[in-house]
Amino acid sequence: MKKLVVVFVLVFTGIVSYGQEGLKFGVQAGLPLSDFNDTVGVVVGADFGHMWALNETFDLGVMVGYIHGFPEKFDNQDLLEDFPSVQFLPLSASLRIWPSNSISFGAQVGQAIGINDGNDGGFYVRPQLGILMSAQTEINFSYTSISLEEANWSTITFGIMYTLQLKRPY
């Protein structure tokens, strides 16, 4: 399954490099929930991808990202527990729906590849709500879920996304 998702994203990345319009760059920060709440203190991430406007209401695209969970450190009567960082590389398809000119909602769905030791990754879902601040800048709120073998990675994040719209030479 992982190989199929990677091939899918690589093919779309090749198509993206030809089109060169609607490139998206974003960063986000947030807090972990549920299974990783006690071992991870804060989460940061970055996204890069491309979106195609199917019409005035729907956008479809591909995204690749990086998620880094910084470990918590607990001092338990002279014993300092140091948990490892948690890192993922999500590869996903993205759908955005624009009910108005300034608000969007949608989701990214795909596979998150685990980067740190002992992390195999899992199924990745990230629903989000976006608010357009200017023609190229958007703030967004999202929930991330990665289904791991014995746990579930869940976070809530706040981010900013910038769209670079290159003009075609013809």
Burial of 170 (0-12, 13-18, 19+ CB in 10 A): exposed
Q: Whole-model pTM? A: 0.80
Give the residue extent of every domain in the chain. 2-164
In this predicted structure, what is the pLDDT of residue 18?
36
What is residue 149's DSSP assignment? S
Partners of 167 in the beta sheet? Answer: none
In this predicted structure, what is the pLDDT of residue 165?
77
Give DSSP secondary structure letters for 26-52. Answer: EEEEEEEEETTTTTEEEEEEEEEEEEE
β-pairing, 23-34 vs 152-164, is: antiparallel
Q: What are phi and psi of 66, to 5 degrees?
A: -140, 130
Indicate the CATH number for domain 2-164. Answer: 2.40.160.20
Q: How many CB atoms lie within 10 A of CB 153?
A: 26
Residues of the chain with pLDDT under 70: 1-21, 74-82, 166-170
**CA 18 – CA 28 distance, rounded (Å):** 27
The answer to whether 112 and 122 are in contact (CB under 8 A) is yes
In this predicted structure, what is the pLDDT of residue 110?
97
